[in-house]
Structure 1
Amino acid sequence: MWESLYSAIAVICYLVAATRILCFDSLQKKTHHNRMHQAIATLLIAAFAGQSINIIFLKDPVTIWDAFFGVVLLAVVLRSKGNIASMFRSHAL
């Protein structure tokens, strides 16, 4: 039973994170486009979607650490509002 809950949490977190990165509107911010950031965003979207598919069809059992890692990654993506470049920027003063 717990594995099903952990699986659901991890899959939802990975899919929401991939969707948030995918829906980031870089044209609205009028920022400089960097090919490296675009490549990293593409890789993250593919990795998050692939991990979701892996959990749904292949992974058995999913542990609490898989779900925790998904929540942490989701928090990082949501905090940066889907902007890959701001994930790597330091906000310390």
Structure 2
Amino acid sequence: MLETIWSCIAVACYIACAARILCFDSSNKNRHRLHEAVAVMLIGSFAGQSVNIIFLKDPVTVWDAFFGLVLLVVVFKSKGNIADMFRSKAV
């Protein structure tokens, strides 16, 4: 029972992360090929991990769901901007 809950949480987090990065509006931003490549890899890996959990993975643990939640917070805090994820906010 709990494994199903953790699986649903992890899949929802990974799909939301991929959708947020995919829907990022970069019309007024400087574009860098490296950031675009990292965004494509992240979208593919989030979507691939979701498919892996749904069809192939053995029971998902609470730590998989927790890691998905952490990634969700990081992606949504940066508003889907890959460059902001790696930029230092320290003064």
Using the size of structure 2 for normalisation, the TM-score is: 0.98
Match of 2:45 in 1: 47
1:43-62 CA distance string (max 9 Å, x none):
00000000000000011110
**Equivalent runs, 1:24-43 vs 2, <5 Å:** 24-27=24-27, 30-43=28-41
Shift of 1:31: 1.6
Q: Matches of 1:12 and 1:32 in 2, distance apart?
A: 30
Task: Give a deviation string over 1:51-93, Cα, whole Å, max 9, x none.
Answer: 0000000111100010000000010000000000000001112
1:63 pairs with 2:61: yes
**2:15 equivalent in structure 1:** 15
- Give unmatched runs, 5+ long, in structure 1: none
Give me the identity figure in percent. Answer: 65
Instruction: Count residues in correspondence.
Output: 91
Distance in 2 separating the partners of 1:18 and 1:50: 10
Once residues 31 and 42 of structure 1 are traced to their aligned partners in structure 2, the CA distance between those partners, rounded to angstroms, is 17
Secondary structure at the residue paired with 2:70? helix
Amino acid of the structure 1 residue aligned with 2:72 = L
CA RMSD for the aligned pairs?
Answer: 0.5
Which stretches in structure 2 are left out of the alignment for 5+ residues?
none
Aligned to 1:62, the other structure's residue is in SS state coil
Once residues 22 and 55 of structure 1 are traced to their aligned partners in structure 2, the CA distance between those partners, rounded to angstroms, is 21
